[in-house]
Structure 1
Amino acid sequence: MGKKKMSKKKSRIITRSILAGLLVIVFGVNIALYQFREIITSYFTTMNTTSKESVAARDKSKKLVEQIADEGIVLLQNKDNTLPLKTTATNKTKVNVFGWSFTNPIYGGTGSGSTDTSTAVTPKAGLEAAGFQVNDTLYNDYLALKMQRPIVGMNGQDWTIPEPEASFYTADRMKQAKDFSDTAIIFIARSGGEGADLPTSLDGADTFNEKGSQQGPTGQRFGNKDDLDASKHYLELSNREKGMVEAVTKNFNKVILVVNSSNTFELSWVKNYSQIKSVLNIGGPGQNGFNSLGKVIAGTVNPSGKTVDVYATDLLDAPSIKNFGNYDYVVKNADGSYSQAFDSGKVGLNYVDYAEGVYVGYRYYETAASEGAINYDEKVMYPFGYGLSYTNFKQEVVPDSLSWNDKDISVKVKVTNTGSVAGKDVVELYYSAPYTGKLEKSSIVIGAFAKTNEIKAGESETVTLSFKVEDMASYDSNKAYTAKGGYVLEQGEYKLMLMNNSHEKIADVASKNLSQVVYDSTARSTDKQTAVNQLDGNVTGEGSIATYLSRANGFANLKDIDKNQTYTIKSADGKTTSKVKGTLVDSSFVKYVNSKRYDVPADTKTSAPTTGAKNGKKLKDYVGVDIKDKSWDALLDQLSVDDMVNLVVHGGYKTVELTSVGKPATLDYDGPSAISSFLAKTKVSGISFPSEVLVASTWNVKLAESMGQCIGAEANSYGVTGWYAPAMNTHRTAFGGRNFEYYSEDGLVAGKMAAAVTKGYQSKGGYVYMKHFALNDQETNRTFGVLTWANEQTIREIYLKPFEFAVKEGGAKAVMSSFNSVGNTWAGASSGLLKQILRNEWGFKGMIDTDFYMNGGGISAYPYMVFELGIRAGNDTYLTGVAPMGVPSANTKSNDTLWSLREASHNMLYTIANSGAIKDGLSTDTPTWVKITIGVDVVLVLAILAGLVVSFRKSNKKEEVEV
């Protein structure tokens, strides 16, 4: 008996159901695509690097990259005038290069600061282009090892230092090298990047989690078991590297050391090897900066770079190291055991104390030496501002050129090239202020600097250095002279010194006894309002620092600035224990931090702002209109609530289009070394510029401005307006994971460079997001909102200084706030920081974006980044890079929130109005993937509808026949 056939009626019903289901699926998919349209668009967005405009901009950038590297390489040592190694095109100088990293160097850093260097010039190519013949046999032997550069990234870090064991350097291999050349170059490299700080101990205590760890102290791996050594840190010779150095110095008497690292490398061991004649440092050189390494070694470029950090003999000796890294707040349980303190968002409470105060880098070493607390030569290898040349320069103050009145200081310095080859020099002017014991002060601070042009042998150039008298004032956070805090120029003798570097004096320029000036009733000339303590509620009270380092009695309290103790804590489930360094707090402190992090104050506004008005205004009408002009109200009144919310909550790598006011969408891409499409499918970036350390090492502000201009020109060619750069946090220690993308330990050097890059980029119509504002000077626990404690003197004089320059001199139009907390308050929710200091005091006009934000829609990656607190404190937009995932929901029933949304929209619209987005009329064309989707939708819907029509027609014909 055969199967019973399905009736035609039933078949038609099933067919219709399937077609109807397909129609529902199509609509459902389109709804999902609409929800995820922004992240899909970001993923498929590509930068056109082949257009005529792009090619021209990229070619110009490449030339500048090499110019920056030419001037940013620092010659640290050159005994017996070993360098340069003369070579010619017809008579190439042969060199051996030892060190596996020569085959796989460091071009920059990782994370959001990473760039595409797949086509970058290699060190080998750079040497060969300069006329050297590299020992290919040795080079290929390293390649044959098939070693890989370990990953140091945001999803876990492998801190293995790749280098073969000492047995690699066999007698035969060394004989081949000696037969090839009597010159050896040792090449050592160190990596760093976003997500973790560099290890201060290679103890192998941490294990690697294959899934990695987003930002914490775990998720790390140490390979090469013979390299594991608890007494060593990542920034000194590993055991394997030491074996290589021993083998090389045993066989060669002319050795050149090249350190390829943006983090200050510990070099005291060099003193033990007389064979090492010359030492060069090259930070991440970017796309073609290794060409410069070859030119410097060959002498076709005379090195003129200077250090931007002090090179300590022992990097673990600095006071800042005593409070750097992972520290937990600990609570005592009822049974006497200890547990880590967590906030109500289940985030562990971590902290870092800036107890060294203003004594960071050279400020500590120079002051301690002047107080007789240390032997400088034993503690410091190379001073701040130090670098050698292949020629000699004489610097002398031009007679009668000094001008020092109540407001300004200016002096001219004549620089003469007394050597035999052309070169450039850096002129450094320092000052010392009287120490009375009331305000902490470094014994010496750099006040101004300048880079000469190239000076031919026997010729001279005169440069002018100037700064304001008020720049020598200290900040009185402890209210020794002021009622509310403020800047104070203490009475006493002030001195000016012309220096080769922070330690070597050329000449005393002048000294002057100044009367006391307290900037409390009147502001400093560069401030829009008088500076007073704005962060007291954040950085004082329980949990804050009890003892700050003081130079009194030769830094007698140095032993007291480390309050951390070791506790054995229980895991959350109580099954395991571990030892942590931290501080004991009680439940009241945890409750207080929770309140600061999560409690949204009650409304103060009794009415909502006007929305949805029909005033006929367009954003293009407001180009050049001051942000405080009342005419903005008419435009802002046109915004709907949805307009304001969309503009504010979708700030990841873009700003959205608002048709109601004629605002185009913009693209805002990452940095800081190039324009990079960080989330795109195709990892394409602009030309990779050198790391910020190398840029700063040029001490050439003009080059920094040119860098901004070049990247700005590239951005224009890619259709990009905003740039998440420059980054300008402080090298508080040598171990900061992102030191490669920050300029210096000194705020003047960092600030002048950042201001120049900012000015250059924005001259092309874009806007920078200077970052990370503020005190984001370590990676450890940053995304846990690490409570960063410092008094306001330390914050203002050291850590805010670069940002202040970028605003006042660079005119920065946008800011990225930081993950960490300033004291007990998330930086993005600190009105004292964002509104009072940044806007009201410094005069910033523009918009403020968060760092990467995922805290909404059921996702609480960083729950302490509370939207309502941030928007009310002045954080205008949110970097929701994976929208709609993690996008916050605005409480639009709150009048205070609505007014804050209006103010944020005002700041954003003002920024866009004064950018090339309006001037050049950026395209808002429908993305290609959307066009394809629409086409597919049309075909599918028509096909489904056609199928339904055919089905119903057949049904109707059947019914007509039956009738």
Structure 2
Amino acid sequence: MVLLKNDNILPLNHSGKIALYGNGARNTIKGGTGSGDVNVRHFVTVEEGLEQAGFEITTKSWLDQYSELKANYVKKFKEDLVAKAKAEGKDVWVATMGVTPLEPDYDLDLSSSSQAEAAAYVLARDSGEGADRHAERGDIKLTKTEVRDILSLAKQYKKFILVLNVGGLVDLSEVKDQVPVILLMSQLGSATGNALADVLLGKSYPSGKLAMTWAPIEQYPSTDNFGDINDTYYKEGIYVGYRYFDSMNITPLYEFGYGLSYTSFKLKTEAVKVNAEKVELKVRVSNVGNALGKEVVQVYYSASDSIMDQPYQELAAYAKTKELAPGEEQVLTLTFNTSVMASYNQEKAELVLGHGDYLIRVGNSSRNTEVVAKVNLDQDTVIEKFKHIGGKTNFKDFVPNRKTISYPSEAEEITSAPVFSLQSKDFEVKENHYSKPTFDVEDNDKQIDWSAVVNDEETVENFVAGLDNETIVYLLTGNYEKDKSLFMVGNAGATVAGSAGETTHQLTNWGVPSLIMADGPAGIRLSTSYTLDEEGKAHALVSEFGDSAGVPKEDYNQENTTTYYQYCTAIPIGTAIAQSWNSQVAEKYGDLVGTEMQLFGIDIWLAPALNIQRSPLDGRDFEYYSEDPLISGLNAAGITNGIRKHPGCTTTIKHFAANNQETNRVYSNSVINERTLRQIYLKGFEICLENSEPLAVMSSYNMLNGIHTCNRYDLLTDALRNEWHFEGFVMTDWLVTSSFIPNEGKYTCASAAQDVAIGNDMTMPGLEEDTETILKALRSGELTRVDLEITASRILKVILKLKIEKEVK
């Protein structure tokens, strides 16, 4: 959790009577909707958590009245939504997916049944896959009712706590200065209510930091043009989040990296070492307060602008202390590659360090740092050479035209900081080599049994060479049933009820197993109850999408069949995990998910999601980690490492790339210049691959500069495989090649044939039209047999690797 404000009220010294209000008090949100939801047996609400901790809630009448009011409001909202979709001739499920109602205004008496010692108002917001948020009251902004009631309670109760049960930004401008305590609880999954109670009572403590800047929505440069159904222009360039606010000297509500504790810490940089390879800092952290706590040390750099414009500062490294008792100290060592400070020159396709001074800053938030070292480079230095990727735009990126932030002691710190001189000759230039995929086979005439491949007697390539074209194409298009027109997003699995999809069953006669996939990223999303037919196929009895408006439910309920149940654990949303600023925490959550993957028979988790939080308006921001690629990449790596502890289980890092809005998401075109693409929107994926081993990548729905990401060779082969050396397989997001999802704009859906041609190995969830499209392209010469063999080999190598891991265990 992130403590945003505390006027010496928390922690409370005991439970007791508490007046509880707000839309998240009883109707607590454990996580967002869509793929990011998890169907649990039960999760602990705030109301339940407080009562279990010994609190007596004195406002049951208010909670009852609000619950009834909200239920009726939501019921009518869903009915109207469905009616509107039907009247417009739209598929109800697609038209309503992720659409959540704005919080209503109402007039309920704030009276309490007896005098309470403290009061808490739990402010909740929901969002999810398929729809974006709104820059208006009831979503990003507070309703008039919320403002009125929060301010009234703050006046009435000395011990008043505003708890934020949100997955992203809410604009607190109207209340923040008049409320004594603001605690960002976030959406913490199954144990949400218990976790809050522990923090309020001091059994635990907040040690989180914001991983996204909080400011009024009008101040974000990404708000302009956001949600356009055709083209979204990323004109702010690299100035995303704190990079923009710091460089433009705009004071946010709460800065990136900000978060308070129940105690106080002192940071002292004791040593700095710099060479052409790395920068190393030793920072002593002392608990100078009166309570237990943990602190996050954040290291930023300010790059030389001798070649191109630069943000005021960028995050280079971070580390979190162990739990420190009052008076206890710990020395942390933080290291980052010197090349991290280089920038991409999109004119020359080079990563370069410009000559001049680089400042190294240390602190506990982006607005609370000190300059601890200065690095001087004698001349411009090329670090790495690339091919151009991503295409071109018709605009130049934003360049700040105002004085950056500063603080009174900054000039003196810069003057007195130790200087480390580097010379260009000490750096090595990395040359990327770009080769086209090849398919090497010894004998393409014989049919090989899969067991020979498993026993290392034959190669995957030789096995593929013995398959006919149609069988290979089935492998490239997931698993589907002929003549069955629809496999829903997130429910295409046949073996595990509610699983998102599977690889084909067409190769089972050869002994090749099918891989089962489940959605994420807040846990495994499966249907909670199911039955099996005579062939052993699972049929969900409850939709894996819960009670969302318009969700189709399979009508399969036969007599004399056994009903089976499966419940999964909801972990905190991605944003909450990132706010820990501790990739070890992410790894523990990955370990938990991996345990359940083995329990329920899931091979591939369709997570983590690590897109950049470009705008608070993105409906899926709660799934993502941060506005910063370093935090995004390290958390995704932590999750992946936790899951990869479980033999036969792997992750799918998604959505690759620049998937930053839900509006018309399958046909939306993200227009981005190459420097921005590489430094912001691809960097997190690169960091994840450097620090972990995901065996699958999911390409995104959107287009990138006019071409669907699943159809971009430069993205999926040049960058992903040639530059980053990814060795797994790439799958599409669900139905991106199908016209099933309505198009509101000018662009068309992606091509399954082009998926194969450029290195998107599997088109999901698998439709007959995809198979026919690929076979037709093969017959016409648009695709070659080798194209099929290359993509099939990548998929089969992952199947083989996971199978061997299981057998070794």
Indicate the TM-score class for this superposition, using the shorter chain for normalisation. Answer: 0.7 to 0.9
CA contact (8 A) 1:808 1:843 kept: no
CA contact (8 A) 2:443 2:462 kept: no
Matched, 1:311 2:206: no
How much has 1:757 moved relative to structure 2?
A: 0.6
CA contact (8 A) 1:475 1:793 kept: yes
Q: Which has the higher helix share?
A: 1
Q: In 2, Cα distance between the equivalents of 1:404 and 1:163?
A: 56
The structure 1 residue matched to 2:144, chosen from 228, 231, 239, is 239
Q: In 2, Cα distance between the equivalents of 1:869 and 1:818?
A: 15
Partner residue, 2:503: 655
The alignment's TM-score, normalised by the length of structure 2, stands at: 0.81
Partner residue, 1:83: 10
**Structure 1 outlier segments of 4+, above 4 Å:** 151-154, 552-555, 604-612, 858-863, 883-888
How much has 1:639 moved relative to structure 2?
A: 2.3
Could you report, residue by residue, the CA deviation over 1:9-68 in whole angstroms, capped at 9, with x for unpaired residues? xxxxxxxxxxxxxxxxxxxxxxxxxxxxxxxxxxxxxxxxxxxxxxxxxxxxxxxxxxxx
The structure 2 residue matched to 1:355, chosen from 211, 235, 238, is 235
How much has 1:248 moved relative to structure 2?
A: 2.3
Matched, 1:264 2:169: yes
Could you report, residue by residue, the CA deviation over 1:934-963 in whole angstroms, capped at 9, with x for unpaired residues? xxxxxxxxxxxxxxxxxxxxxxxxxxxxxx
- Paired AA for residue 447 in structure 2: K
- Three-state SS of the structure 2 residue aligned to 1:119 is coil
Matched, 1:877 2:762: yes
Partner residue, 2:43: 120
Q: In 1, Cα distance between the equivalents of 2:380 and 2:451?
A: 48
How much has 1:533 moved relative to structure 2?
A: 1.5
The structure 1 residue matched to 2:779, chosen from 893, 915, 925, is 893
Partner residue, 2:226: 324
How much has 1:649 moved relative to structure 2?
A: 1.2
- Paired AA for residue 866 in structure 1: S
Q: In 1, Cα distance between the equivalents of 2:581 and 2:382?
A: 31
Could you report, residue by residue, the CA deviation over 1:809-853 in whole angstroms, capped at 9, with x for unpaired residues? 112210110110010111000000000000000110010000012
CA contact (8 A) 1:705 1:759 kept: yes
The structure 2 residue matched to 1:446, chosen from 315, 318, 322, is 315
Could you report, residue by residue, the CA deviation over 1:715-771 in whole angstroms, capped at 9, with x for unpaired residues? 011111011000011111111100110011111111110011112212213121111
Could you report, residue by residue, the CA deviation over 1:256-280 in whole angstroms, capped at 9, with x for unpaired residues? 101111111111222452xx20001
Cα 1:534–1:686, aligned 2, differ >3 Å: closer, same or farther?
Answer: same
Could you report, residue by residue, the CA deviation over 1:905-960 in whole angstroms, capped at 9, with x for unpaired residues? 11101111211x344369xxxxxxxxxxxxxxxxxxxxxxxxxxxxxxxxxxxxxx
Q: In 2, Cα distance between the equivalents of 1:797 and 1:324?
A: 21
Cα 1:240–1:649, aligned 2, differ >3 Å: closer, same or farther?
Answer: same
CA contact (8 A) 1:86 1:93 kept: no
Matched, 1:533 2:388: yes
Q: In 2, Cα distance between the equivalents of 1:354 and 1:622?
A: 50
Matched, 1:99 2:4: no
Partner residue, 2:467: 639
Cα 1:622–1:905, aligned 2, differ >3 Å: closer, same or farther?
Answer: farther
The structure 1 residue matched to 2:203, chosen from 289, 292, 300, is 300
Cα 1:639–1:299, aligned 2, differ >3 Å: closer, same or farther?
Answer: same
Cα 1:911–1:139, aligned 2, differ >3 Å: closer, same or farther?
Answer: same
The structure 1 residue matched to 2:289, chosen from 419, 427, 446, is 419
Partner residue, 1:920: 806
- Three-state SS of the structure 2 residue aligned to 1:427 is strand
CA contact (8 A) 2:135 2:141 kept: no
- Three-state SS of the structure 2 residue aligned to 1:463 is strand
Partner residue, 2:595: 713
Partner residue, 1:513: 376
Pick which of 675-684 and 426-435 moved more: 675-684
CA contact (8 A) 1:163 1:241 kept: no
- Paired AA for residue 140 in structure 1: D
- Paired AA for residue 532 in structure 1: K
1:553-702 equivalences under 5 Å are 613-616=446-449, 618=451, 620-621=453-454, 631-650=459-478, 653-657=501-505, 658-659=507-508, 662-677=511-526, 680-682=540-542, 683=544, 684-702=566-584
Partner residue, 2:265: 393
Partner residue, 1:24: none
Could you report, residue by residue, the CA deviation over 1:311-334 in whole angstroms, capped at 9, with x for unpaired residues? 11x22211111121125xxxxxxx
Matched, 1:74 2:2: yes
- Three-state SS of the structure 2 residue aligned to 1:782 is coil
Give the superposed CA RMSD. 2.8
CA contact (8 A) 1:854 1:880 kept: no
Paired residue total: 696
- Paired AA for residue 755 in structure 2: G
Q: In 1, Cα distance between the equivalents of 2:117 and 2:591?
A: 44
- Three-state SS of the structure 2 residue aligned to 1:357 is coil
- Three-state SS of the structure 1 residue aligned to 2:763 is strand
Pick which of 425-434 and 831-840 moved more: 425-434
- Paired AA for residue 5 in structure 2: Q
Q: In 2, Cα distance between the equivalents of 1:616 and 1:161?
A: 57
Q: Where do 5+ consecutive residues of structure 2 fail to align? A: 82-92, 405-436, 480-491, 493-500, 528-538, 545-565
CA contact (8 A) 2:587 2:641 kept: yes
Could you report, residue by residue, the CA deviation over 1:57-102 in whole angstroms, capped at 9, with x for unpaired residues? xxxxxxxxxxxxxxxx1100001x0111111xxxx42110121331
CA contact (8 A) 1:422 1:457 kept: yes
How much has 1:795 moved relative to structure 2?
A: 0.7
Q: In 2, Cα distance between the equivalents of 1:554 and 1:825?
A: 37
CA contact (8 A) 2:441 2:461 kept: no
CA contact (8 A) 1:868 1:897 kept: no
Partner residue, 1:3: none
Cα 1:546–1:859, aligned 2, differ >3 Å: closer, same or farther?
Answer: closer
Q: In 2, Cα distance between the equivalents of 1:648 and 1:861?
A: 24
How much has 1:458 moved relative to structure 2?
A: 1.1
How much has 1:661 moved relative to structure 2?
A: 5.2
Partner residue, 1:742: 624
- Three-state SS of the structure 2 residue aligned to 1:365 is helix
CA contact (8 A) 2:699 2:733 kept: yes
Cα 1:605–1:319, aligned 2, differ >3 Å: closer, same or farther?
Answer: closer
CA contact (8 A) 1:855 1:861 kept: no
Q: In 2, Cα distance between the equivalents of 1:783 and 1:444?
A: 34
Cα 1:365–1:147, aligned 2, differ >3 Å: closer, same or farther?
Answer: same
Could you report, residue by residue, the CA deviation over 1:870-895 in whole angstroms, capped at 9, with x for unpaired residues? 110110001126x4576553233255
Partner residue, 2:186: 283
Partner residue, 2:246: 366
Could you report, residue by residue, the CA deviation over 1:477-513 in whole angstroms, capped at 9, with x for unpaired residues? 1x2xx3xx121111110111111201111x3221110
Q: In 2, Cα distance between the equivalents of 1:531 and 1:439?
A: 18
How much has 1:680 moved relative to structure 2?
A: 3.8
Partner residue, 1:228: none
Cα 1:732–1:697, aligned 2, differ >3 Å: closer, same or farther?
Answer: same
Q: Larger Cα Rg: Structure 1 or Structure 2?
A: 1
The structure 2 residue matched to 1:433, chosen from 303, 307, 332, is 303
CA contact (8 A) 1:776 1:819 kept: yes
Q: In 2, Cα distance between the equivalents of 1:717 and 1:757?
A: 18
1:461-500 equivalences under 5 Å are 461-477=330-346, 479=347, 482=348, 485-500=349-364
Cα 1:283–1:671, aligned 2, differ >3 Å: closer, same or farther?
Answer: same
CA contact (8 A) 2:695 2:728 kept: yes
CA contact (8 A) 1:649 1:888 kept: no
Partner residue, 2:789: 902
Partner residue, 1:504: 368
- Three-state SS of the structure 1 residue aligned to 2:222 is helix
Q: In 1, Cα distance between the equivalents of 2:661 and 2:151?
A: 34
Could you report, residue by residue, the CA deviation over 1:350-402 in whole angstroms, capped at 9, with x for unpaired residues? 11000000001100011112xxxx4x3xxx1111011000011111123xx32
Q: In 2, Cα distance between the equivalents of 1:691 and 1:877?
A: 27
Q: Where do 5+ consecutive residues of structure 1 fail to align? A: 1-72, 202-231, 328-349, 524-529, 556-603, 923-963
